[in-house]
Amino acid sequence: MIQLLRVDHRLLHGQVVFSWCSQLEPNCILIANDVVVQDEVRKAALKLGKPSNTKLVIKNIEDSVKAINEGKTDKYSLLIVTSNVADAVKLAESCEQITGINLGGTKATAETHPLSNMVNVTEEEEKLLKEAAAKGIEVFIQAVPSDPKKIFK
């Protein structure tokens, strides 16, 4: 069962490990990212940061979609983390088991504007989120489980 799909440019860090994993108690974390899957140093660092009782799988977006849709993740209580909005929307639109996108943290750049103090998006990313929401995918901002959900409109 997919517990949560989260967008966080930092991927696996304190908020995810301590707040979200404590609340959701996943037994597997899937990092879905085309860049990290090819970077042995980043993969090693991510493996060091995972909770000890949780499996960590790192796949590219295409392989993540395939694994979810083929049922390979069904046996897990799964937390999925992507580093960007486009990857999260692709996963959510490609996998009917994913019903929502949690916007947790995205970097502020010259091309972005804030949706909250932790979430910054480009015009294109905002358009993707609006399209996903129009398809019935719940898009919400929530840094940690104790924060109230702020539904993206």
Residues 6+ apart with CB under 8 A from 39: none
* 100-133: burial string, b at 16+ Cβ within 10 Å, e else: bbbbbbbeeeeebeebbebbbbbeebeebbeebb
Q: What is the pLDDT of residues 3-20, one digit of tens each?
A: 999 999 999 988 788 899
Q: What is the pTM of this model?
A: 0.96
Q: What is the pLDDT of residues 80-99, one digit of tens each?
A: 999 999 999 999 999 999 99
The amino acid sitting at 82 is T
User: What is the structure's pLDDT at 80?
Assistant: 98
User: What is the structure's pLDDT at 14?
Assistant: 81
User: What is the structure's pLDDT at 115?
Assistant: 96
User: What is the structure's pLDDT at 18?
Assistant: 84
- Domains of the chain: residue spans and CATH: 2-151 (3.40.35.10)
For the chain, list residues with pLDDT below 70.
Answer: none
